[in-house]
Structure 1
Amino acid sequence: MKKRIALLTALMIALNGFAMEVLAQPDLYTEGTSTLLMETENNQIIYKENEDTRRLPASVTKIMTVATAFDIIEEKNISLDTFVSVSKKAASTKGATIKIFEGEMLTIDSLLSAIIINSANNASVILAEYFAGSEEEFVKLMNKKSQKMDLKDTNFVSCNGLTLSKNHYSTALDISEIALELIEEKDTLRYSSLSEKDIIIYKDPNTPVRRIKLESTNKLLGKYEGVDGLKTGWMGPESGYCFVGTAQEDGTRLLSVSLGAQQKDGNFRDTRKMMDYGFGDFRYFKLLNKGAEAGSIKINGSFRKIKGVLEEDLVIYGNFEPEEYTTEAIFDDLELPVKAGQRIGTLRVYGKGKMVHQVELTCKNDVSKSWLSLLKDKITATFL
């Protein structure tokens, strides 16, 4: 049972010289059945609706395809100029595709471009077969990465989302985690920010045969200021219209997810609404300094309290009034001794009673069992 203590009021924060403004989440009347908006500097969710409901992600699946491919490229130091041959299976892939035939070749860079910009299903299969020998083996790598990222509500059965299987699912929350990695650690925006790009198909590495113009499926590029990604998806009414998007304005980057919109472009309308809200009156507020004490707890067997401190500055992106803000320390089930720097719980940030953010708490100093507790343990061990 987790122990809850240390509810800090806005008055206490004011005494420490900090201010905070946030606004209670409005009803944006989004068309997607699952939606989410996140500020990416602190990974703070500022709007959500059914964010942990499992949905068919359709071609949004490809963000994990790309993330897995980037991992392999980095691990094995593979050049993006490497040529890849097209198999019979890949050439016969249905749905959104680029014009390519069995035995032809193109570079990994062109494949990534076709997947991210044009959502090409066959390019996903070509890439999967090159890196893992088959699509099935590559999907195993995708699921392995999902497990490593602790995405408990995500599982894939294809590398491109071209499936209606009930075993192929994800959530707006899990998708945001994958997208965050692509934005922060990978070179994805170099591709996703392009509204169009030409790629070349080869007979062999020295013989180009034709040029293909890729056009982005992202209808907000050039239409909504700051948008530079990321991925669309649609597999009929079962998935609805999906979109994971990102935009940057005045140094602030937002990430949005809309899954399951039933009307065409509903995913883009959702994105506009969420981005308008997130880029509205929000500001950054430094709530607590790194190293600040943010709650304490006394547990049996110790004379001293265990004090929770922040590993980093607590910065909030919001627009509350100070009196509408509280924090609460949530401590894990702890056993003595506890070491300095050990994780001991989380500090939750609330605005108008709704949790808007949480950060990890660590122990300020070593806390061991008291001499009385040690003596009791020794006596107990002697007579048992």
Structure 2
Amino acid sequence: MPRLLLACLLIGLLVRPAAAAFDTAAEEAILIDLTAGTVLFEKGADRPIPPASMSKIMTAYMVFKRLKAGDLSLDDTFPVSEKAWRKGGSKMFVEVGDRVAVRDLLRGVIVQSGNDASIVLAEGIAGSEAAFADLMNREAEELGLSNSNFANATGWPDPDHRMSVRDLATVASVLIQDYPEYYGFYSETEFTWHEITQSNRNPLLYRNIGADGLKTGHTEEAGYCLTASALRGDRRLVMVVAGLENVRQRAEESERLLEWGFREFTAQRLFETGEVVEQAEVWLGESDSVPLVMAEEAVMALRRNDRDDVVVTVSYEGPIPAPIAAGDRLATLTVEAPDMPSRSFPLLAGEAVDKLGPVGRLIAGVKHLILGEL
């Protein structure tokens, strides 16, 4: 039968009003505390929208993945096609017929937002931009990007090219966590190619707020957009805003959202990896109970005054029949806090429990029939 065991974590006796609501002029927005794996704010987060050049984060991700796998090197060179050379919009200014190193092409994509550099990378990896877009869509499925579809490597306007701000935040988060050796490209404020120096368009890099990436975007349909991340101490936030009216609004709204996230929330470590949370009852085991331990650290972003109102629930189907192996997943810990999405964490068996022998099972069965004991 289902059992719910409450592990109280200082449940507050007084109900405090929620912190003042936050809003933004952005049409779509999301703010994630990456350290705690918690969504702090969202607005239209799952709406498929034209991502403009922010989709170049996915283009860079495709390159980073191949670099880490050893299928590609920063020193490898790709030829510049006439298609890449002719492409309009933001440019790195590569010359047709040249061979350009992957390292420089990445800077052309990330710092200069070069459409030409994006196409050179796409053609070098997949043979054509269309084939590269197919690879992007396959990767999107693996990453669980449920509201994205790619038609090109640049973010060039296309009715079939869409991403949600949640999907953009997901790609940015994976890129930051899985490819730290290449993420540094995003904090470079300028890059020179063919004696043409261009500055990074990310306004937050120049505001001394801990920002170290990622990518701006702008088209008439998309408006002014930004995917950004900032690190303060051991806390990292990832933010996406879209549909803003101008460059100034993009900069101001982005900074305001990040500052709100750092100011109003703190990452709370509730349980350590391996910490015993509860004892679960065992059926026909050499021990009557088994410790339930955290499979991973439980960290959650909370409003600064809400820790006393956190409720932790442990749920499992019990009593759990023996034998039980150490490390078996037995239960789920759910953390709930005011005005925040709940989080769930797996709980494992902290030790093995062998099954009772025939005599022991007989005795246990008799006790259960006569005394109602397990």
What range is the shorter-chain TM-score in? Answer: 0.7 to 0.9
Residue number in structure 2 paired with 1:184: 177
Superposed displacement of residue 40, structure 1: 2.4
Q: Secondary structure at the match of 1:316?
A: strand
Preserved CA contact (<8 Å) 2:111 2:199: yes
Matched, 1:105 2:104: no
Matched, 1:221 2:205: yes
Distance in 2 (alpha carbons) for counterparts of 1:154 and 1:130: 23
Distance in 1 (alpha carbons) for counterparts of 2:73 and 2:9: 53
**Match for 2:9: what amino acid?**
A
Preserved CA contact (<8 Å) 2:10 2:310: no
From 318, 341, 353, the equivalent of 2:327 is 341
Residue number in structure 2 paired with 1:250: 233
**Match for 1:354: what amino acid?**
M
Residue number in structure 2 paired with 1:268: 251
Matched, 1:325 2:310: yes
Q: Secondary structure at the match of 1:118?
A: coil
From 162, 166, 170, the equivalent of 2:163 is 170
Superposed displacement of residue 291, structure 1: 2.7
**Match for 1:362: what amino acid?**
L
Preserved CA contact (<8 Å) 2:55 2:153: yes
Residue number in structure 2 paired with 1:5: 4
Superposed displacement of residue 147, structure 1: 1.6
From 337, 347, 355, the equivalent of 1:361 is 347
From 99, 117, 120, the equivalent of 1:126 is 120
**1:101-135 superposed Cα distances (whole Å, 9 cap, x missing partner):** 32123211111001111111111010000011111
Residue number in structure 2 paired with 1:76: 70
CA RMSD in angstroms, aligned pairs only: 3.5
Q: CA 1:31 to 1:281, structure 2 compared with 1: closer, same or farther past 3 Å?
A: closer
Bigger drift between 184-193 and 135-144 goes to 184-193
Superposed displacement of residue 66, structure 1: 0.4
Matched, 1:288 2:281: no
**1:356-375 superposed Cα distances (whole Å, 9 cap, x missing partner):** 54433334466899979xx9
Residue number in structure 2 paired with 1:233: 217
Residue number in structure 1 paired with 2:299: 315
Superposed displacement of residue 58, structure 1: 1.5
From 134, 139, 145, the equivalent of 1:145 is 139
Distance in 1 (alpha carbons) for counterparts of 2:316 and 2:116: 49
**Match for 1:326: what amino acid?**
V
Distance in 2 (alpha carbons) for counterparts of 1:367 and 1:51: 45
Bigger drift between 176-185 and 305-314 goes to 305-314
Q: CA 1:90 to 1:226, structure 2 compared with 1: closer, same or farther past 3 Å?
A: same
**Match for 1:185: what amino acid?**
D
**1:267-322 superposed Cα distances (whole Å, 9 cap, x missing partner):** 33232122111221544433123233446888999997887531123233431333
Q: Secondary structure at the match of 2:111?
A: helix
Preserved CA contact (<8 Å) 2:36 2:267: no
From 76, 79, 85, the equivalent of 2:79 is 85
**Match for 2:327: what amino acid?**
G
Superposed displacement of residue 331, structure 1: 5.7
Residue number in structure 2 paired with 1:382: none
From 15, 29, 33, the equivalent of 1:35 is 29
Bigger drift between 85-94 and 315-324 goes to 315-324
How many aligned residue pairs are there? 352
**1:310-365 superposed Cα distances (whole Å, 9 cap, x missing partner):** 11232334313333221234669xx9887543445643322215325443333446
Q: Secondary structure at the match of 2:173?
A: helix
**Match for 2:231: what amino acid?**
Q
Preserved CA contact (<8 Å) 1:138 1:159: yes
Residue number in structure 2 paired with 1:51: 45
Superposed displacement of residue 260, structure 1: 2.6
Q: CA 1:266 to 1:304, structure 2 compared with 1: closer, same or farther past 3 Å?
A: farther
Q: Secondary structure at the match of 2:258?
A: helix
Distance in 1 (alpha carbons) for counterparts of 2:182 and 2:130: 24
The TM-score normalised by the length of structure 2 is 0.80
Residue number in structure 1 paired with 2:371: none
Distance in 1 (alpha carbons) for counterparts of 2:126 and 2:4: 50
Q: CA 1:110 to 1:360, structure 2 compared with 1: closer, same or farther past 3 Å?
A: same
From 317, 331, 336, the equivalent of 1:350 is 336
Q: CA 1:135 to 1:274, structure 2 compared with 1: closer, same or farther past 3 Å?
A: same
The TM-score normalised by the length of structure 1 is 0.78
Preserved CA contact (<8 Å) 1:24 1:354: no
Q: Unaligned stretches of 5+ in structure 2?
A: 366-374
Q: Secondary structure at the match of 2:155?
A: coil
Q: Secondary structure at the match of 2:47?
A: coil
